[in-house]
Chains A and B, each alone.
Chain A
Amino acid sequence: MSDQAISAGGRAWVSGVRDATPLLGGYIPVAISFGLIANQAGFSSWEAIIISLVIYAGASQFLFVGMVASGAPLWLVVVITLLINARHLVYAPNLAPWLNGNRWWFWLMHGLTDQVFALAHTRLPALPPSERLGWFTGAMLLAWFSWVGGTALGAFAGQELTGRWPLLNDVMPFALPALFVVLLAPRFTSWLWAAALGCAIVVALLFAANGLPNMAIPVAALLGAAVFFVMQSNTRAEV
């Protein structure tokens, strides 16, 4: 490999890490909470860290710990986890056009979360093909390690940390909606997209505000897509 190629790969890594940095504000406080809750549910600190390392799926991990602690059968835990993560069936084909045949992509997809998908869906098309693997590796590793690191922090020192700086725990998670705002803003390119995206935002907000966060994303996305296609077909009919 030439020096130029290595330096471009290195730049792509750094660029991925830089782009994924806002995720830390959302991941670390939630991961700290997970470490704390896993401990309280009877898991050891190392078990909590291994769950974050291997399962690496926010809501599913909380459910996993809760269900295992309450004695739920393993098959039910697996079914619920698969249902919650079914949205990844949409993520992968949306990213695939920007990936090449490199076999590393297969393993790197372990690091595909909601937020990494949102980031990659926006950034990958803008990058030259030679830099995409490096960019994704940098972004996903930062997100993954921050999640595992946050879990370790929560499992070993969570109670003391949140007791000392309660406001930090409250403010940092806002980095996630702020990041989504930035990722979505350039997509408001027409009334059609504005209506579809606006519908999805409002429906998800209503579901989540009424205590249904897990249903919020699939239902809101389906309604948003329905608005898109209904409006598109009406526009065509008028023309």
Chain B
Amino acid sequence: MAGELWVAVMVAAAAMPRWLGVLGPVMIAAMLGASLVPAAGTLNAWVATAVGGGVTLLVWWKTKSLGWPVVWGVVAFGVVRFLNFVVL
């Protein structure tokens, strides 16, 4: 049963309209936008988000890899948040 259903899904998808192909990447962009809102909602959390995002982009630009930009982005975000905890 699953096999036949799967084949039917594949056949339907083969005729995918152009707009559906555009909607995929813009949905990922929408996920990025929604996930950028920090849970804390403070100025420091927004600054940390900006710094973390910037560092992620910079490391991606240098390495063009998937893992390291994320690691360094989280570290940068964490450092800014940690400084806030230490200072305040």
Residues of A near any B CB (own CB < 8 A): 18-19, 21-22, 25-26, 87, 90-94, 96-97, 99, 101, 103, 105-107, 114-115, 117-118, 121, 167, 170-185, 187, 193, 196-198, 200-209, 213, 216-218, 220-221, 224-225, 228-229
Contact = CB atoms under 8 A, between A and B. Distances in A.
Contacts of B6: 101, 103, 105-106
A204 B31 contact: yes
Given A106-B3, A117-B28, A217-B31, 9 more contacts: A96-B9, A99-B10, A101-B6, A118-B28, A171-B78, A182-B70, A205-B34, A207-B34, A220-B29
Interface in B43-76: 45, 48-49, 52-53, 56-57, 60-61, 66-67, 69-71, 73-74
B32 interface: yes
Nearest to B2: A106
A204 B33 contact: yes
Contacts of B10: 96, 99, 101
Interface of B: 2-3, 5-7, 9-10, 12-14, 16, 19-37, 39-40, 45, 48-49, 52-53, 56-57, 60-61, 66-67, 69-71, 73-74, 77-78, 81-82, 85
Nearest to B79: A171
A206 B52 CA distance: 19
A213 B39 CA distance: 12
B35 A196 contact: no
